[in-house]
Amino acid sequence: MVAVEDEKEDRQKEDKQKEDQQKEDKQKIKQIRSKYILNITNLIYKKNGDDNNTKTKTQDVFKYDSQK
* 16-42: pLDDT as tens digits: 999 999 999 999 999 998 888 888 887
Residues 16 and 1: their CA atoms lie apart, in Å, by 23
Cβ-contact 61, 30 below 8 angstroms: no
Residues 6+ apart with CB under 8 A from 58: 38, 41, 42
pTM metric for this prediction: 0.51
Report whether pLDDT(45) > 90: no
Length of the chain: 68
pLDDT at 63: 58
At 44, is the pLDDT very low, low, confident or very high (cuts 50, 70, 90)? confident
pLDDT at 19: 96
At 12, is the pLDDT very low, low, confident or very high (cuts 50, 70, 90)? very high
